[in-house]
Chains A and B, each alone.
Chain A
Amino acid sequence: MTLSIVASVITGILGGYFFISESFTQHIDILIDSALYFLIFCVGIDIGLNKHIFKDLKKHSLIILIIPTSIIAGSLIGGLITGYIFHMPKNLSMAISSGFGWYSLSGIILTQLHSAEIGTIAFLTNIFRELITVVSIPFIAKYLNDYTAIAPAGATSMDSTLPIISKYTNPETVVIAFINGILLSGLVPVLVPFFYSI
């Protein structure tokens, strides 16, 4: 998966650099829009299919409420500080930081809403966030606590980083991580445009 993702971006960059003229941008925008809506539709189906989530939600209601809320708040604080360092408007830095590690989606949304430059920053930010997650989870689980291992993972705690969380924590944390990932993944397409628009 990771290899095909990196390969598709690099092929696109090379194609855009060598073969495609700027006048073609409009057509690409249409392609991105339609593919994006389709992708989000598929993600929605995934969320809808997980019916046991509602049962699990009741069981872990307090912690399930607190972990995603803390991740959202922490990401926004980190984003605002970064925005302050690089003299960025607050709405933009909050929109970038509310990708919660989901690089493919937040990069695309911000490319469409703002520019290729901000889209690329969002994309790279979330790629780096996932790398940080992979490297830091073993240490967090060992020196802090299991729940905190979900924090850097953000929206990816339901898919790409779930196996790592599972390896270093316990089954209860895995269920919570999965639900956390679903909630945050559902919020990325809502919060990124929301913060951008304020």
Chain B
Amino acid sequence: MQNILISLILGILIGSTVKFSDKMKKFNATFQHLGVILLLFAIGITIGINRSLLGNLKEIGGISLVFAVLTSLFSIILVFFMSRIIIKGRNN
């Protein structure tokens, strides 16, 4: 966790102090894309090596779907009610 935070903060500091040309911004976007692909490839390998995990994929898919539906649903409900309160406040 510490390393993740350090990487994030270091990035923010560099992004906010160093002047980036459009070319450098493009490079940054390309690096991010390549980084994501490399990471997902590596994650794929860890899934592929793990035979028992592949056997459980159906169950894992079900759990993930419930997670996705409920996290989205409760986010929608809360944002809807909170934004209604604000909109009401603005109109008053």
> Which residues of A approach B to under 8 Å, CB–CB?
1, 4-5, 8-18, 20-22, 24-25, 28, 31-33, 35-49, 51, 62-63, 66-67, 70-71, 73-75, 77-79, 81-82, 85-86, 93, 96-97, 100, 104, 107-109, 111, 116-117, 119-121, 123-129, 131-133, 136, 140, 144-145, 147-148, 150-152, 154, 186, 189-190, 193-194, 197
Central interface residue in A151, A189, A193, by most chain B CB within 10 Å: A151
Q: Nearest chain-B residue to A47 (Cβ)?
A: B12
Give B46-90 interface residues, CB cut-off 8 Å to A: 46-51, 53-54, 56-57, 60-61, 63-80, 82-84, 86-87
Q: By the criterion of a CB under 8 Å from any partner CB, how many residues of chain B are at the interface?
A: 67
Contact B46 A96 (CB under 8 A): no
Assuming the A-B contacts A44-B15, A66-B86, are A15 and B44 also in contact, with contact meaning beta carbons closer than 8 angstroms in the complex? yes
Main secondary structure of the interface of B (DSSP, over half): helix
Main secondary structure of the interface of A (DSSP, over half): helix
> Which residues of B approach A to under 8 Å, CB–CB?
1, 3-5, 7-17, 20, 25, 28, 31-33, 35-51, 53-54, 56-57, 60-61, 63-80, 82-84, 86-87
Q: Can you sample 16 A-B contacts with CB below 8 Å?
A: A40-B8, A51-B16, A63-B83, A73-B74, A74-B74, A74-B77, A78-B69, A78-B74, A79-B71, A86-B63, A117-B60, A119-B46, A125-B68, A126-B68, A136-B72, A190-B5
Assuming the A-B contacts A15-B44, A189-B4, are A44 and B12 also in contact, with contact meaning beta carbons closer than 8 angstroms in the complex? yes
In Å, the complex CA distance between A31 and B41 comes to 11
In Å, the complex CA distance between A147 and B85 comes to 12
In Å, the complex CA distance between A173 and B5 comes to 29
In Å, the complex CA distance between A117 and B64 comes to 11
The 3 closest A-B pairs by CB, nearest first: A12-B44, A44-B11, A48-B15
Contact B67 A48 (CB under 8 A): no
Contact B40 A104 (CB under 8 A): yes
Contact B43 A121 (CB under 8 A): no
Contact B82 A16 (CB under 8 A): no
From residue B82, how far is it (CB to closest CB) to chain A in Å?
A: 5
Central interface residue in B32, B45, B87, by most chain A CB within 10 Å: B45
Q: Nearest chain-B residue to A63 (Cβ)?
A: B86
From residue A20, how far is it (CB to closest CB) to chain B in Å?
A: 6
